[in-house]
Amino acid sequence: MRVGVLASGRGSNLQALLRAFPEGHPCVSITCVMSNRPECLALTHARSAGVVAPAFPRSAYGSRVEQQRAMAAALVAAHVDLVVLAGYDQVLTSSLLQPFAGRIINIHPSLLPAFAGTLHAQAEAVAYGVKLSGCTVHYVIEEIDQGPIIAQAAVPVYDSDTEDSLAQRILEQEHQLLPAVVKWIAEGRVRIEGRRVVILGGSGQCEHC
């Protein structure tokens, strides 16, 4: 299965994917990495691993629709089967969603549907006083963070937690959960049944979580 990754930041989830699926892996090939931010570390990590990693800065296009249309064309040209959002900070438009409908997944740092639609889910979890948080891998649809949930991993929220300390513990789970889900999809074990996602031959819980 050929995977294209979209990232905008440090690229730690991308690094987890590159470790899980090195060149020559029998099930998954990280074919390309793309970003809306030319200076982001994710592109550096990808290029260091020998992965094609172009940037598509918003300033180079007349609109976000045109920008993402160019990204979609590049993903199609790379024969990508699955698009993984790994810390990508732009809302997707139909120009990218439609060509890859049902083939885009995202990882979000909360137990959806809690704290959806925000880039500050960890801070909101601490402020709200929840006792459990975590991360969710879900399919991407037009409604932000509303797509069918594939898998989740929970972490406790301690009274002493700050946004940073909670984010770090959640990130450790993200690094396990996201590669696990990509592998399940590559193995044909993930099936959507309406709002529910069924993991064939498993519970939908990463064995490391």
The pLDDT tens digits of the residues spanning 194-205 come to 899 999 986 545
* Residues 43, 35: Cα–Cα separation, whole Å: 7
Q: Look at residue 150 and tell me whether its pLDDT is greater than 80.
A: yes
Domain spanning 108-209, CATH class: alpha beta
Q: Look at residue 168 and tell me whether its pLDDT is greater than 50.
A: yes
Residues 62-79, mean pLDDT to the nearest whole number? 97
User: pLDDT tens digits, residue range 109-123?
Assistant: 999 999 999 999 999
Active-site residue, 108 included: yes
108-209 has the same fold as 1-101: yes
Domain boundaries, the chain: 1-101, 108-209
Choosing from 108, 120, 138, 208, the catalytic residue is: 108
Q: Look at residue 103 and tell me whether its pLDDT is greater than 90.
A: yes
pLDDT at residue 169, as a whole number: 97
Comparison of pLDDT for 19 and 208, the residue scoring more: 19
Rg, C-alpha atoms of the chain: 16
* Residues 45, 160: Cα–Cα separation, whole Å: 33
Q: Which two tokens stand for residue 22?
A: 């090195």
What pTM does this model have? 0.94
pLDDT at residue 208, as a whole number: 41
pLDDT at residue 202, as a whole number: 62
CA distances to 11, 71, 140, 192 from 100, in Å: 22, 11, 10, 15
What residues contact 175, with CB distance under 8 A and at least 6 apart?
12, 13, 16
Q: Look at residue 207 and tell me whether its pLDDT is greater than 90.
A: no
Q: Which helix (H) or strand (E) covers residue 103, if one does?
A: none
Domain spanning 1-101, CATH class: alpha beta
Band of pLDDT at residue 209, cut at 50, 70 and 90:
very low
Q: Look at residue 159 and tell me whether its pLDDT is greater than 90.
A: yes
What 3-state DSSP class applies to 203? coil
pLDDT at residue 201, as a whole number: 85
Residues 144-155, mean pLDDT to the nearest whole number? 97
pLDDT at residue 203, as a whole number: 53
Residues 85-112, mean pLDDT to the nearest whole number? 97
